[in-house]
Structure 1
Amino acid sequence: MSAFDVTAPNWNQIKQANVTGAASLASDGGVILPTSQGDLHITFHTFGVRLRIGISGQADYGLLVTTPDIISPDIVNSEQQCTLIAGDSKLVINHTPFTFELFQGNKSVQQTANDGHFVRRYRLPPLAKVDEGWLISLELGTEEAVYGLGEKWASLNKRGQLVRSYNHDALGVNAEISYKNTPFCWSPSGWGVFVHTPSPVTHAVGYATWSQRSYGVLVEDEALDIFLMHGDDGQAIINTYTDLTGKAPTPPVWSLGVILSKAYYKDVPELLATAKDVRAHKMPCDVITLDGRAWQDTDTRFAFEWDPKRFDDPAAVINQLKADNFKVCIWEYPLVSVQHPLFAEMAKKGWLLKDKRTGEAYQYQWDMSAFAEVLTPLPESGIVDFTHPDAYQFWLESHKPLFDLGVDMIKADFGEQVEDDNMLAYSGDSGNRLHNVYSFLYNKCVYEAAEKYSKNGPFLFSRSAWTGSQRFPSQWGGDPQADWGGLGASIRGALSWGMSGAPFFATDVGGFYKDTRDQELFIRWSQAAVFSAHMRLHGIGQREPWSYGVEAEEAVNQALVLRYRLLPYIYSAMQQATQTGVPLMRAMALAFPKDRLAAAFELQFMFGDDMLVVPCLKPGGEVDFYLPEGEWERFPSGQTYQGGKTYALTLGLQEMAVFVPKGKRIPLGPDVEHTDALADQQPQISHYWPK
């Protein structure tokens, strides 16, 4: 950043807002409050308040699915303060400088950060206009935790972190940068914050360089639009957030089965031989994936066409896979090589992002330092402009021949490439304002194509995502290192994304890169992934269990059999997620909000309402875990454990640490190798555990 250094801001150079006049009712039932930085528009809702200030009228891209009903307040103005009262909610605003405190009943929900300073009254400005956009600061209690903010790999509790809501091709799971972000977070103490913007947002969450007792929010947009929500716990606040930004529809049953992939099956014989091997080894599996280089010519992609050098009859290949009861997934990205005629056709129609300097289609050049020996260098390409309605419709309809051919799902890769202020969209946006929302528009377009054309129900795998992308399930965590740290970080990413309103997630089982053929790691990753919304085996190199050895095949196949037995339980949890926004993989802080000890165990989680899962995250099989109050039974042995305690176990290669509250029953289905074997392809309960 040029004028505002987020790592070491100079607060003395920032002009904060002061109230300059009396509050008055707006025509929509809200309140207009004049300030030195423009009019602040305040609206009350059943879930809290919404604050808006700055230039309006820019594209909002449909991130909100509803306009919440407004509760008109009573206004009490005085010389130094105004008080707004709407039902049980009350907002008290001081004038010089602008500060606020929001109450629900007699409880203070949230307020301006009150970290005092000798030089100025507040260490962080309560509300200020800065060169990059807007800054607002909120209070953090001494031990207050904060969760959410997207797919992040470090501690689930963001307290002490500087987090930027900005999508990256992260090339792994080892840094702050990530593929899926949203400026939404919540605290177990009963408040949530959602910044409605397509632009980057920096969150200094008790970040000591700014203030260890404050939450500073820097919004890089011309307008500030922020929702302050209250709720009994994280689940209630997630429900509110997803009411605003959209609930995830329940995916088709077949998507719950195992998805097999690798980067990549080089030709048709390898692909078909792998499919035959899966059935010969009696490995439960529903979907096989043709990754990017598996079906497209890398130099000329992406153009919705099969590489003619390897696929002279793609329909015959798909029909053969279908005969073996496989659904088919194919890869895409939203770029078009300059070497393909489609680039010139789309450029002529204005369907690619333009170069501000020339007015011509922007030609994106890849950073080749990330490719080298691991990835194939990619061609200079145009970027599809999903803000152009005709380009959007063209890209959507271009999927029809693929679905007509028998393709069942799309792996929508990339979407993080809008990084240059010189890239101009049809909407008028460029650079930062377009960067994050591009992922949302891309996800939306491809999911709507699946809704319109897929014969077996819409399902999508996307890597990058923004606010609202949960409406287009599902997402996967990209590119983890194939080691124990990659496994642990992938689980954190899944839990963090779930705490951010996105209920469905999958990891790259086995890790994506630096594979060392570690069979114990592959076994433990597979066992953990049984208890995720979706399960995909994927990486550079083979991910078929037998490729890791006999012990791996036996242990992983046993885990996959369990996955299919759990389909009735998983599908029921998915239907619940569609209603509430609550994820299948629930971090302990989300599942047990009143149990402070539980929150410390960040890598164990509840899977649905009734299964507590303790992944094995190091070689040797040792696991340490905590069971909340009550009696628990180990699944499936039935051994009883008393809750409110910590435990340690050493697991055999085929053992998992899974626990169920005593008295709960887990519905189980039959042993099948694919969901086509189920009557009407729907989950069926054959019995319950315990009997």
Structure 2
Amino acid sequence: MIGHTPEDCAVTPKLELDALTQLSDPEFADARSSRADFAFEAQGLRMWVEAHAPGVFRIRCGSSDALSPEKPSARAKAHAEWLLAREEAVGELSVSSAVSEDDCGWLLAQGDAVLKVLCNPFRLELWLSGELVWQSWSLAQGEGPEGRAWQLGIDLDPDEAVYGLGATPGELDRRGQRLVSDLRDSRALPLAWSPRGWGLYFNTLGRLVHDVACDDEQVYRVQFHGNVLDVFLFAGEPSEIINQYSALTGRAGQPGLWPMGVWLEQTPGQTLDDVLRIAAGLREERYPFDALQLAAPAVYGFQQDKPGFEWNAARIPDVRAAQQKLQALSLQMAAPTFPGVLQGTELFDEWEDRGWLLIDDESGEAHVFAGNDVTGGKPFGLLDLTHKDAYRLWSERQRQAVDEGLGAPVCLAQLDIPDGITARGGETGSVLRTIYPMLARKALFDAVAGHRTPQEGVILSTDLFPAVQRFAWQQGPDVTNDWAGAEHSLRTALALGNSGVPAQMHRLGSAGAPLDGMTPELYVRWLAMSVFSANFSLQATEALLPGSFDEATRELARHWLQWRYRLTPYVLGIIEDAVRTGLPVQRSMAQAFPADPQAHVWDTQYLLGPALLVAPVLQPGEQTRVYLPAGEAWWDLNTGWRYEGGTALNVTAGLDTLPIFGREGHMLCLGPVAQHTGEFNSARLLDEVWMFGMPEHSPVVMRNKIRVMQMQGSSYIKGLEGLRILPSEGLEVKRRGAEVRISRAR
């Protein structure tokens, strides 16, 4: 198992607050239908507690002027919109003062969720269905490196796990880690939750420091930098928390159909002709795929003396001819870009004079960033995307590239922007480091999807920032070519799903890492795992392509790639469902089965959507162990056998199989075999239906309306016309017109 590094307590430095003052002696001030107000007279502060939505309490603390400014600035309104998709409260609050004879306090109730505000000492308690699920240890204010800051201390039970908080290659339980939100290596996101029934979202663009039981094994401390402490406290199961969190902060747009196909990543230094020859070879050998992702440096960008985009002639000499070759291979193109302009060009000087680039406060000149892979090592200036004209220009030029045939931009904009740089909007320091990748991704999404109804398209990036889940989708980490690399990729996807990000695109190996660890067995296991995910990419280097292996391995690669395309209707259905619920494609055991602590231990298993339990094989050999979560029955896709949950099985899995179990009451709808998504028939997206016991739930499937109704012990289903149906043992299928009846075999 991979450990907690690099985000653990020893690696990440403490960021202490000065003049820390504990809040005490709250006094009830006022109540209305959705809010209760409290005063801390000794500290000159007020606290608002709002029923923001069912099971969601919003807690804000600050001075009266900070909580309710007379005229919020346009920038403050913009910041609020970047963070929250829904600002207004939609819940109702019932307030009462009787807590007990021995203690003072108030009960703030909405349904089964009750928040207690207690006096002696001041603390908050969250109760759900009569059980205490969360309690604060302290709340204090002080001074941090960027002004006013707050510290919230939360009591943790000895065995309580904390999930979410962004990406990690290690254990999904973040206990024993310290993360700083604006440090790029922390890979932090602002949502945390526990299977006990609570979740927290810290609503800020400023710095957050999460000390998850580092300094004190029983306390989770959060340092919040900003004039107003603004925290959302969720009550419920993890799926309910992620649903409410995504409704609050925004949900992903849909990716469309072609991005669901397999991608091929160009190797750095490889010419376009070289990778097109590889693509043609894959087509000839009948390996399905849909997209070609070009490597850095950027293949298009601003001209040296004009604000128009041009294609890099050294990378793509003839754009039209390149597009024709891609079309002949039925491929879409993804390409790297960056929101900047190279130093030493006329355009750099002109935009520096205009104030369109990020300016160093001390020198008054544009800050020059060191060259990176995307710029080909050349130093550059960053567009100030808080400037509406610069933002609009960059987005419009990107749309022009899309109109010229670009399928998806690839953009990494989470840069180490040093302190002492202030954007036109006034953002600086940690706030600027937080919003910059957010604005870059938003501008790109506006370019790709803004003119489509419904909005559809993908922006590929590894950047993480608040509300990142609004933009499909997230690129997986660059990993090593060994078993640890496969596990790293999986754990990152599950951690992101725990943090509200619905889809990660895995990478099958890395062209930049040593290649000798990629054995045929590992290659097939990694490929099989990636097939049962949101999506993945192959690497266009010989040692990481199916053709470099023996014929048996090549045939296994075809087998699993065909499975990927058959699964596309189901996986895209999960992503379309995420637009409505926020739930991720790959769901960790703790997220999917919070009431089964034994399941949480099996943290490299996952639920793929609502219907499939997947247990990837992450070590050599055919023997593996699988845990089937309690409270459910499970059907082995490989044998058709039914198992009761709450048990661990010894499973033999050859390279042509993967331990996969269907959840009883669900169905799996499969599409036909295809070489690319262009072969999909929109009038017949489905080919076959697998049933796991008596159907009780309508299946998850893209752009189809299949409905299940139960009556007198049978299931009646509409929408399965013309499909082959594979019922579980003991069931029989009867068709009558457009209706299918599933009943017990007589």
Same-fold call, TM cutoff 0.5: yes
2:441 pairs with 1:443: yes
2:201 pairs with 1:199: no
Q: Structure 1 stretches of 5 or more lacking a match?
A: 114-124, 171-176
Aligned-residue offset at 1:594 = 1.4
Q: Which stretch shows the higher mean deviation, 637-646 or 500-509? A: 637-646
Alignment CA distance shift 1:61-1:263 (3 Å) = farther
2:373 pairs with 1:353: no
Q: Which stretch shows the higher mean deviation, 81-90 or 257-266? A: 81-90
Aligned pairs for 1:32-431 (under 5 A) are 32-35=38-41, 36=43, 38-45=45-52, 46-54=54-62, 55=66, 58=76, 59-60=79-80, 62-67=82-87, 68-69=89-90, 71=92, 74=95, 76=97, 81-88=104-111, 90-95=114-119, 98-104=122-128, 106-113=130-137, 125-132=138-145, 133-168=149-184, 170=185, 177-178=186-187, 181-207=188-214, 210-231=215-236, 233-264=237-268, 266-293=270-297, 295=299, 304-365=309-370, 378-412=377-411, 414-431=412-429
% of aligned pairs identical?
28
- Name the aligned partner's letter for residue 625 of structure 2: D
- Name the aligned partner's letter for residue 210 of structure 2: H
Aligned-residue offset at 1:642 = 4.7
Alignment CA distance shift 1:333-1:547 (3 Å) = farther
TM-score for the superposition, normalised by structure 1: 0.87
Give 2:479's aligned residue.
480
Aligned-residue offset at 1:87 = 4.4
Question: Does structure 2 retain, via aligned residues, the 8 Å contact 1:147–1:187?
Answer: yes
State the secondary structure of the residue aligned to 1:586.
Answer: strand
Aligned-residue offset at 1:663 = 5.6
- Name the aligned partner's letter for residue 289 of structure 2: C
- Name the aligned partner's letter for residue 392 of structure 2: Q
2:21 pairs with 1:15: yes
Aligned-residue offset at 1:295 = 2.8
C-alpha distance in 1 between matches for 2:451 and 2:254: 17
- Name the aligned partner's letter for residue 205 of structure 1: V
Q: Which stretch shows the higher mean deviation, 69-78 or 148-157? A: 69-78
Question: Does structure 2 retain, via aligned residues, the 8 Å contact 1:336–1:384?
Answer: yes
- Name the aligned partner's letter for residue 605 of structure 1: Y
Q: Hey, which of these two has a bigger chunk of strand by percent?
A: 2
Q: Which stretch shows the higher mean deviation, 474-483 or 540-549? A: 540-549
Question: Does structure 1 retain, via aligned residues, the 8 Å contact 2:587–2:609?
Answer: yes
Question: Does structure 2 retain, via aligned residues, the 8 Å contact 1:672–1:678?
Answer: yes
Question: Does structure 2 retain, via aligned residues, the 8 Å contact 1:30–1:73?
Answer: no
Alignment CA distance shift 1:126-1:267 (3 Å) = same
C-alpha distance in 2 between matches for 1:410 and 1:11: 40
Question: Does structure 1 retain, via aligned residues, the 8 Å contact 2:195–2:594?
Answer: yes
Alignment CA distance shift 1:661-1:95 (3 Å) = closer
Question: Does structure 2 retain, via aligned residues, the 8 Å contact 1:264–1:540?
Answer: no
Aligned-residue offset at 1:72 = 5.3
C-alpha distance in 1 between matches for 2:161 and 2:250: 25
Alignment CA distance shift 1:349-1:681 (3 Å) = farther
Q: Deviations over 1:354-373 (max 9, x none)?
A: 1111222211125x8xx8xx
Alignment CA distance shift 1:264-1:6 (3 Å) = closer
C-alpha distance in 2 between matches for 1:466 and 1:61: 14
C-alpha distance in 2 between matches for 1:503 and 1:460: 14
Give 2:526's aligned residue.
525
Q: Deviations over 1:209-244 (max 9, x none)?
A: x2212211111333321111111x100010010010
Q: Deviations over 1:82-128 (max 9, x none)?
A: 42534445444344653222345633342222xxxxxxxxxxx4333
Higher relative contact order (CA 8 A, sep 6+): 1
Question: Does structure 1 retain, via aligned residues, the 8 Å contact 2:34–2:92?
Answer: no
C-alpha distance in 2 between matches for 1:64 and 1:663: 36
Aligned-residue offset at 1:348 = 2.9
C-alpha distance in 1 between matches for 2:40 and 2:19: 22
C-alpha distance in 1 between matches for 2:57 and 2:328: 55
Question: Does structure 1 retain, via aligned residues, the 8 Å contact 2:298–2:337?
Answer: no
- Name the aligned partner's letter for residue 193 of structure 1: L
Question: Does structure 1 retain, via aligned residues, the 8 Å contact 2:104–2:118?
Answer: yes
State the secondary structure of the residue aligned to 2:243.
Answer: helix
Aligned-residue offset at 1:552 = 3.6
- Name the aligned partner's letter for residue 462 of structure 2: R
C-alpha distance in 2 between matches for 1:681 and 1:418: 49
Question: Does structure 1 retain, via aligned residues, the 8 Å contact 2:253–2:456?
Answer: no
C-alpha distance in 2 between matches for 1:90 and 1:639: 44
Alignment length, in residue pairs?
A: 657
C-alpha distance in 2 between matches for 1:12 and 1:387: 31
C-alpha distance in 1 between matches for 2:320 and 2:292: 15
C-alpha distance in 2 between matches for 1:365 and 1:346: 18
C-alpha distance in 2 between matches for 1:134 and 1:662: 47
- Name the aligned partner's letter for residue 439 of structure 1: P
TM-score for the superposition, normalised by structure 2: 0.81
Aligned-residue offset at 1:460 = 1.7
C-alpha distance in 2 between matches for 1:361 and 1:682: 55
Aligned-residue offset at 1:142 = 3.0
- Name the aligned partner's letter for residue 408 of structure 2: M
